[in-house]
Structure 1
Amino acid sequence: MVDEWQSNLYDDKHHFVSKYGKGILELLEPIKDEKILDVGCGTGDLAAEISKSGAIVRGIDKSESMIQTAKSKYSHLNFDTVDILKMNFNEEFDAIFSNAALHWLLQPKEGLQKIYQSLRKGGRFVAEFGGKNNVLEIRNALQEAYNDLFRDYPPLKNPWYFPSIAEYTTLMEEVGFTVHYARYYSRPTPLEGADGLANWLSMFGEGMLKHLQTDEKRRLIENVEKRLKSTLYVNHQWIADYCRIQVIGNK
């Protein structure tokens, strides 16, 4: 499988993912000697933060590029290239943590089953990810621009799962979790630089746009920027219309 993630661009222009993720760490409350799995760890920044508590951390991500970068940055930690749907852990962890990853999983119940299986009895699952209406303006503008520019091309494939709180917590309960906390909130997120939106689309939309030629992608992104300039470009700064979900469940 082709790795669509660009770990250098991720670290250079999208470090806000880890910065905002520190908030969810306060809900995790890691303690010394706990075994904690970071699912979708990216380039390892939050796993490194967790390790400062004295917890024993393991980070997994399906992107080989992300894992190689994580290993180079934090050689003292344990990182592996693993797809969440192929995890084969059995009651090994005291806690499972995930930030900005689970909205990429289009089989959410199967993922939750794997997480539940990996936790020890009494263990906790703490996560934050994109919720209902996440980047809705960006997604709508992208779809409209694509339809206008490439009418004869195959339709865009949605790579994301953005559920409501009700939908996701119901799935959690169906696989066995007791849900102790759930929060949905809007989090407008500044994107770095004048090309912030273009970089965001290049980073997170690559899977949708990989069938386009380089020049076609450029035209599409310019069209999207034009459509969103009046609403998401504020004081020379692109703002992404993020909406997030936080959950805590116990086994």
Structure 2
Amino acid sequence: IWAFQSILLLSIVMILSIDLSIQQINSSYIYQYIWSWIINNDFSLEFGYLIDPLTSIMLILITTVGIMVLIYSDNYMSHDQGYLRFFAYMSFFSTSMLGLVTSSNLIQIYIFWELVGICSYLLIGFWFTRPVAANACQKAFVTNRVGDFGLLLGILGFYWITGSFEFRDLFEIFNNLIYNNEVNVLLVILCAILLFAGAVAKSAQFPLHVWLPDAMEGPTPISALIHAATMVAAGIFLVARLLPLFIVIPYTMNFISLIGIITLFLGATLAL
């Protein structure tokens, strides 16, 4: 009976994926509004999904690497007492990543961003009875909270400037404000750096790179999933998604490049 349910769900997902692929081919992007949470007449949160070429690339990356890691993990974790718990965490992690890359606004991104952080904490500390693993997952969690706090402040800052969380409105409103010189340049630069702080922590860039080596204390498939493909790529996705903002803000791209160069140099020298 479980096999029938699994095959049915996979078939439904495949049909939906084919439908989205056809829509993607016919148009540059797909925005689907699903649900709105109206707090008052002036403020509401809209939830939906946004599928564009960037999202498509990330979806392929996450699902391909995810299924490979799951197949390998079946044998690798077969004798572990936490076998079922492991696959529950892995599925939760993949779902959170898929939700992150299909988000249509900054609030959705932040919600799934935090879920990915929770999953990384659970996975790195999978063997929590070992003191080294317990310390490693706490270190990763606390370090990422620093970046997440910056991300939250940046999101609130851009909402205060533009009055929108939606990507389709945010970029257009912000470009008009920049063009008409109606924003405080220092405030905008600060908000952009705060947004980038989230990517710095999640992608283990300098100076919030210290959690990554210790994260190897989790099972080997976890290291492959977190470090090689998905979680570290979340920071890259955030920068790519917000690139229309970063490009028009002075000095921001230079700052991002500087952090990347320092991280590259530091990683190369530490590897010697």
TM-score above 0.5: no
Structure with the higher helix share, 1 or 2? 2
Structure with bigger RCO (C-alpha 8 Å, 6+ apart):
1
